Amino acid sequence: MSRRTVVHDTIVIERRFAVTPARVFAAWADPVARDRWDVPGDDWVVCESEHDFRVGGREYCRFGPQGDARLCGEGRYVDIVSGRRIVMAGTMSDGGTVISVSIGTVEILPDGAGTLMIYTEQVAFLDGRDTSAQRTKGWRQILDRLEVELKG
């Protein structure tokens, strides 16, 4: 019997933005805006992407360091509440091998004149090919870029 592992974890990251919930929601909903910020690290690139932003719509993104964009996120939008909530479910692959299965929930809440955004990712990491620390680091970098996007 082969040695195979699954590690389950839940990542929660909160961010406050000085813009309205409608603007934060739009940064997720607009495919062009999304491709500007949803990549970890300034030296990483998005090579191919699809954001069919509707319930049941496909979400796909091939990305990675310049010249080695072999990571693929692929999934579906499962639930969308305009201005308020987005739930996505899918997989992350590295060179064709599935390394994790995730549910990503974006909650967008009014917070004074601004917004509290809570990103929750429930992840099953397969066969030790990725870790919760790595994934969390990636998301922090992505959300730093979202912050820059929202200041623009």
CA distance 46 to 109: 28
DSSP state of 91: E
DSSP 30: -
CB of 45 to a copy of itself, least distance (A): 26
Extract the tokens encoding 49: 């992407």
2 contacts a copy of itself (rule: CB under 8 A): yes
Residue 48 binds a copy of itself (CB under 8 A): no
Site for a copy of itself in 95-114 (CB under 8 A): 98, 101-103, 105, 107, 110
Of 10 and 134, which has the nearer Cβ to a copy of itself?
10
Could you tell me which of 28, 10, 21 has the C-alpha nearest to residue 109? 21
Give the 3-state secondary structure of residue 56.
Answer: coil
Residue 36: CB minimum distance to a copy of itself, A: 26
- Helix (H), strand (E) at residue 132: helix 132-151
**Which residues of the shown chain bind a copy of itself in the complex (CB under 8 A)?**
1-2, 4, 6, 8, 10, 21, 78-79, 81, 83-85, 87, 89-91, 98, 101-103, 105, 107, 110, 120, 122-124, 126
